[in-house]
Amino acid sequence: MTNPSRSADGRELTRRLGLSRRDFLRDAAKLAVGSALLGSGTLASAGVASKNRKVVVITFGGGARDQETFAPEGQGNIPHLMSELIPQSTFFTQVVNRGILGHYVATASLATGVYETINNFASLPPEHPTVFEYFRKDRKRPASDAWVVAPSNGFNRIGESSHRSYGAGLGARVILPKHLLTAALSSGHSDYQHLLRDNYETPYYAPELGGSEVELEQLERILNLSVEDFKAHARTLSSPDELSVYIVRQLMRQEAPSLLWITMHDIDVAHAGAYSLYIEGIRRTDRLCAEIWKAIQSEAEYAGKTTLFILPDFGRDSDEDSGGNGFQHHRTGDAPSRTTWMMALGAGVRENVVFDRPLESTDLVPTIGAMLDFSPSLAQGKQISELA
Amino acid sequence: MLSSDLKPEQFKSYPPESRKLITNYLGALQTLPLSFVPNLLREAIDYDFKFPAERRALERELENLQSVSTSHSGESSLQGQKDWFEGFARITLSPQLEQMDWVNSPAQFVEQLSTHLWATHQVDAFRKAATDYADRLHGKVPPERPPIPRLGIAVIGQNVSNHEEPLFRKLRPHGGYFSGIKPEGGLKILLDVVGARARLHPIPYGHWYVDGGEEAEHSSDLTCISYHALEPVRAALLRKMRAEIETPGMGPEALRTLLAQMNPPELGFGQAGDQVLDRFQLKLLTEGSGTQIFSTTFVQWSTREALRRAQPCTLLVRFAPRQRQKPMNELLSDKQGPPELDPVGSLMDADLGAYYNWMNQQRLSGADQSSFLVWFENHSEAVAIGPTMPRGTESTTPTDLSELLSLIT
């Protein structure tokens, strides 16, 4: 039989992971422990009315482990998170994902507040209403006010569920930058295919498209971006996530959606087993998160009224679990692969505070609901009181 | 179909030795939960092509299952089974899983079972059941100790002239760090040592040499695989995968199933080759993620699998530079040159890979007597780990690699 690993109780390991993160952050970023000091942090831009408020969510793509990020030996890989973002944030050290550890299904779970069980590799919508549908239906918002920027074709259905009370016409617009780039490149060759591979979990397979994703001809109308400009700019970028951030900035300027969801994915190159590329992905994602935060602060439509959430969809396997192969995958379901973190910063969020209590990935949607004044009635998570 | 419905004739498509093995223990298998049996069959169906160490382990496991089911009579036998398999018995399966042809396609069943376990939130329960079973099995049937203490060697950093980050950070606390290594002829010294061990202790598949590039001259007593030698096979596999994904209806699960069903001749493995080794190499390329593209991944995964399956007494692995991952702007450029190598990135890959090699070696029996050496090729840095080597120590004394090996073996 496989999997002869010996592990302590999963919940205990999860707790220890959270405490380690708190200690690392307390030492390196001088964060205060929130549970005892709730009132001590600076409340950034308190009192933003929900009708003016905006929320941006970044999934810290592909998942990264503590030893390559928050642990002392990993902090050099995330200088922007450590020195710029965390001091401005409320940081949660234990966010547990009890669902399926595949990127599409886990991101769908984050977006619905329910642990989805859809096939990770099929082109299927979430079964439960998404945060975008709750927001648009309750707040009577147009499609242009909720957007998803996602890395791969597999995410093209994430904006809108199959739930009969929500679904069709109520979801987010989805933009797949790599798909747009594929369409923009008139002459393909094999290296393009290598570049545009859809998913690091199944690198040779890309599902059929079939959602409400933005097509190439809409690029100019929506983003005010010509195909030639788009191609020319893509030629200056080093990775698909950089392309996503470029699109995000265009969206913020042209559409200024109130709810904007960005899934990063470069880190997931780890599935190819090359550690140096995984580290490179972490460093790039760290930089891109800071760029988005700067964009939020510099765009008039966003500055002072936006709350930014950054969280991985889940972690990666530990070195110690013989059932896995360390950083390469997220297959074991061990505590490090299920336990992540979340930081919130910006409007209505206390700065420089860390909380140890365990949250679940599904708590994000109810929390956004409280901020944007909608009721995610079918979400299973709980509103995070520390962000109320 | 449930385990209790198993009959000998259902195994007629199994390879001969595998069929014989399974039918000998059919009575025991009939009493076990369905969440357990296909996992065992997935191993047993390949019995004819397994390494001696894993064949013996499988035989001992089946012998134990037999003893659990027959050593007691009546109530005590049932209690014994309950103790061993209670966790597996609690796993709820779907009718679709029960209806699968899991006897002839155990690997596909296990894949579907995995999907089912995740979707029904039973993966943690299954994981605990598997861990408890493995712990109990190791207690009752301890793994065989190696005939000689194991020796693992990793050679990293080929073609790197210098580096910024300190090397061996994860391994240094477990042994001695040497910065005065005399590099001259280092690789030959190491290959001669492992060749001599192979000659002195002839054990089938007991002494290995894995190279991430072109293999250096080595003793024919070593089991050798290299990334370079597999180039035609890798190219054929990539062509096959590209063709398959363009087939309508092909999805990731179907592609994985197709790869799992491939035979060595389909990818051009030698007609008169070693069937066991050919199958092993085929699995490295069809089951390993990234092994087809990056030589550093190939070496790390090959080492992991060789240790897990063949459980060698000696294993020398040499990492070589992998191809450079081009950034997007270069890929979009019209100027396309030949593939370039990334020696510095490969050094980083290999540094962690060597740590994983050591960890995987230490998961095997006899870990308390095992030794490990990692050397920065053609440079003066190495870490040596062994039962007599003080941990966390450093030495700048000029030392050649044979002297260093003698300190730990």
Q: Which of A15, A11, A322, A330 is nearest to B135 (CA)?
A: A322
**Residue B146 within any structural domain of the chain:** no
Confidence (pLDDT) at A283: 98
| Pairing of the two strands A89-96 and A54-59 | unpaired
Regarding whether B180 and B113 lie in a shared domain, the answer is: no
Residues B29 and B175 in one domain: no
Write down which residue in B87, B114, B140 finishes a domain.
B140
| B251 → closest Cβ in A121, A237, A238 | A121
Question: How does pLDDT run across A141-156, given as a tens digit for each residue?
Answer: 999 999 999 987 778 8
In this predicted structure, what is the pLDDT of residue A93? 93
* pLDDT over threshold 80, residue A350: yes
Q: Which residues of B touch A119 (CB under 8 A)?
A: 115
Residue B145 lies in a domain: no
* B36 within some domain: yes
Confidence of residue A119 (pLDDT cuts 50, 70, 90): confident
- CA neighbours closer than 13 Å in the CB half-sphere of residue A302: 28
The verdict on B213 and B331 lying in the same domain is yes
How many structural domains does chain B have? 2
Q: Which of A4, A240, A280 sits opposite B138 (nearest CB)?
A: A4
Q: How confident is the model at residue A163 (pLDDT cuts 50, 70, 90)?
A: very high
Range of the domain at B334: 151-408
- What's the predicted TM-score (pTM) here? 0.92
Residue A188's pLDDT band, with cuts at 50, 70 and 90, is: very low
Q: Give the DSSP H or E segment for A243.
A: helix A240-254
From chain A residues 45-74, the ones with a CB under 8 A of any chain B CB are: 73
Query: pLDDT class for A37, splitting at 50, 70, 90?
Result: very low
Secondary structure, 3-state, B167-226: CCCCCHHHCEEECCEECCCHHHHHHHHHHHHHHHCCCCCCEEEEECCCCCCCCCCCEEEE
Task: Check A100 against B333: CB less than 8 A apart.
Answer: no
- Whether residues B352 and A275 touch (CB distance < 8 A) is answered with yes
Band the pLDDT of A50: cuts 50, 70, 90: confident
Chain A: residue nearest B246 by CA? A205
* pLDDT confidence bin for A84, thresholds 50/70/90: very high
Structure confidence at residue A201 (pLDDT): 62
Single-letter amino acid, residue A184: A
Task: Report chain A residues whose CB lies below 8 A from the CB of B240.
Answer: none
Residues within 8 A of A (CB atoms), B 47-76 only: 61
Are A29 and A21 in contact, with CB atoms under 8 Å apart?
no
pLDDT 10s digits, A327-342: 999 988 889 999 999 9
| Nearest residue in chain B measured CA to CA from A192 | B331
Q: Which residues have CB under 8 Å from B173's CB, separation 6+?
A: B391, B392
Check if B266 contacts A (Cβ < 8 Å): no
| Interface contact A269, partner B, CB < 8 A | yes
Which of B112, B140, B168 marks a domain boundary?
Answer: B140
CB of A115 within 8 Å of a chain B CB? The answer is yes
> What pLDDT sits at residue A251?
96
CA distance A18 to A204: 36
pLDDT value for B193 = 98
Residues B223 and B200 in one domain: yes
Residues B212 and B235 in one domain: yes
Inside any domain, residue B32: yes
- Model pLDDT for residues A208-253, shown as the tens digit of each residue: 555 555 677 778 889 999 989 998 999 999 999 999 999 999 999 9
Instruction: Produce one character per residue of A25-36: b if its CB has 16 or more CB atoms within 10 Å, e if not.
Output: beeebebbebee
CB distance B97 to A78 below 8 Å: no
**CB within 8 Å: B331 and A121:** no
Under 8 Å between Cβ of A147 and A55: no
| A252-287 pLDDT, tens digit each | 999 999 999 999 999 999 999 999 999 999 999 999
pLDDT at residue B259, rounded to an integer:
86
Q: What is the pLDDT of residue A200?
A: 61
CA quadruple B321, B322, B328, B333: dihedral sign: positive
pLDDT tens sequence for chain B (409 residues)? 899 999 999 999 999 999 999 999 999 999 999 999 999 999 999 999 999 999 999 999 999 999 988 765 555 666 777 889 999 999 999 999 999 999 999 999 998 999 899 889 899 899 999 999 999 999 999 999 999 999 999 999 999 998 888 999 999 999 999 999 999 999 999 999 999 999 999 999 999 999 999 999 999 999 999 999 999 999 999 888 888 877 877 777 778 888 888 989 999 887 667 999 999 999 999 999 999 999 999 999 999 999 999 999 999 999 999 999 988 888 777 666 778 999 999 999 999 999 999 999 999 999 999 999 999 999 999 999 999 999 999 999 999 999 999 999 9
The span from the CA of A65 to the CA of A75, in Å, is 11
Say yes or no: domain A10-35+54-387 is CATH 3.20.20.70.
no
Task: Say if A11 is an interface residue toward chain B (CB within 8 Å).
Answer: no
Distances (CA, A) of B139 to A14, A148, B88, B143: 28, 52, 19, 9
Question: Are residues B125 and B219 located together in one domain of the fold?
Answer: no
pLDDT at residue B78 in the model: 67
pLDDT tens for each residue of A191-219: 455 444 555 665 555 555 555 556 777 78
- Do residues B275 and B297 share a domain? yes
CB-based contact B331 A204, cutoff 8 Å: no
pLDDT of A191 reads: 47
Backbone angles phi, psi at B24, to 5 degrees: -65, -30
Number of other residues whose CB lies within 10 A of the CB of residue B283: 20
Nearest CB to B124 within list A10, A237, A319: A10
Least CA distance to A184: which residue of chain B? B332
Percentage of chain A lying above the pLDDT 90 cut: 65
Taking an 8 Å cut-off on Cβ atoms, the answer to whether A121 and B252 are in contact is yes
Count A/B contacts: CB-CB distance under 8 Å.
Answer: 147
pLDDT of A81: 96
Question: Length of chain A in residues, anyone?
Answer: 388
Cβ of B331 and A185 within 8 Å?
Answer: no
Inspect the interface and report whether the beta carbons of A326 and B336 lie closer than 8 Å.
no
Confidence band of A39 (pLDDT split at 50, 70, 90): very low
Among B140, B168, B185, the domain boundary falls at B140
Q: What is the rounded average pLDDT of the residues A91-120?
A: 93
Asked whether the beta carbons of residue A274 and residue B325 sit closer than 8 angstroms, the reply is yes
Which positions 319-348 of A are in contact with B (Cβ < 8 Å)?
319-320, 322-323, 325-329, 332-333
Helix axes B123-140, B106-119, angle to 10 degrees: 130
B210, B101: one domain: no
Q: How many CA atoms lie within 13 A of A235 on its CB side?
A: 12
Residue B297 and residue A192: Cβ atoms within 8 Å?
no
Do B53 and B159 belong together in one domain? no
Burial class (CB in 10 A: 0-12, 13-18, 19+), B200: exposed
Q: Which residues of B touch A322 (CB under 8 A)?
A: 360, 363
Whole-complex ipTM: 0.93
B124–A333 CB contact, under 8 Å: yes
Mark whether B57 and B180 lie in a shared domain.
Answer: no
The encoded tokens of residue B114 equal 């995995």
Interface mutation target, options B331, B347, B360, B365, chain A, most CBs of A under 10 Å:
B331
- Nearest Cβ partner for B348 among A3, A204, A275: A275
* Residue whose structure tokens are 């975008």: A132
Q: Tell me: do B124 and B183 sit in the same domain.
A: no
A 164-193 near B (Cβ less than 8 A) = 185, 189, 191-192
B84 touches chain A (CB under 8 A): no
pLDDT band, very low/low/confident/very high, at A36 (cuts 50, 70, 90)? very low
pLDDT of A44 over the 60 cut: no
